[in-house]
Amino acid sequence: MRGQKSRSGSSTRPGFEGGQNPLYRRLPKLKSFPMVNRKKYTIINVGKLASLPTNTEVTLASLMEAGIITSNDGPLKVLGDGELNVALNVHAIGFTATARSKIEAAGGSCQEIGSSK
């Protein structure tokens, strides 16, 4: 008898496929696991708020009623893309610096509500 298994003290490691490219190298690497505890936010840009009338109280509920947002993914977060020329009172969990400056420059106010924790 001849061959690799007939030699004394020899044993192949688990996963060895006789010189063939092993399965763990043939399969693609997986990306990282999705974050289970990730906070989801309902995001809206300042430009979309420009269609609202002046001195409106902007909340998540009022945006849903107006049809500006369609799904409630979590607390409202306001981003600064777009232009705003209407004074609004915005209630949200968070504002970017540019969103806050654009809302206040238009004569509106920003009120942070609650906590994201």
- Nearest in space to 48 (alpha carbons), one of 76, 23, 16, 73: 76
Quote the CA–CA distance of 80 and 26 in Å, as a whole number: 45
Structure confidence at residue 116 as a pLDDT band (50, 70, 90)? low
| Mean pLDDT along residues 61-72 | 92
Q: Quick one: pLDDT at residue 114?
A: 80
Q: Across all residues in the chain, what is the average pLDDT? A: 90
Q: For 70-100, what is each residue's pLDDT tens digit?
A: 988 899 999 999 999 999 999 999 999 999 9
Q: Quick one: pLDDT at residue 117?
A: 53
Plot region of 15 (φ>0 → left; ψ -120 to 50 → alpha; else → beta): left
Is residue 85 situated within a structural domain?
yes
Radius of gyration for the chain, computed over Cα atoms and rounded to the nearest angstrom:
29
Is residue 7 situated within a structural domain?
no
- Nearest in space to 71 (alpha carbons), one of 57, 56, 60: 60
State the amino acid at position 63 in one-letter form: L
Q: Quick one: pLDDT at residue 115?
A: 64
> How many domains does the chain fold into?
1
Is residue 17 situated within a structural domain?
no
Is residue 15 situated within a structural domain?
no
Q: For 2-17, what is each residue's pLDDT tens digit?
A: 888 888 888 888 888 8
Quote the CA–CA distance of 42 and 90 in Å, as a whole number: 14
> What is the chain's percent helix, strand, coil content, to nearest 5?
25, 20, 60
Would the pLDDT of 110 be above 80? Answer: yes
Is residue 29 situated within a structural domain?
no
Would the pLDDT of 26 be above 90? Answer: yes
The residue segments making up the domain with residue 56 are 42-112
- The H-or-E segment that residue 111 falls in is strand 109-112
* CATH number assigned to the domain comprising residue 87: 3.100.10.10
Is residue 46 situated within a structural domain?
yes
- The H-or-E segment that residue 110 falls in is strand 109-112
Is residue 31 situated within a structural domain?
no
Is residue 9 situated within a structural domain?
no
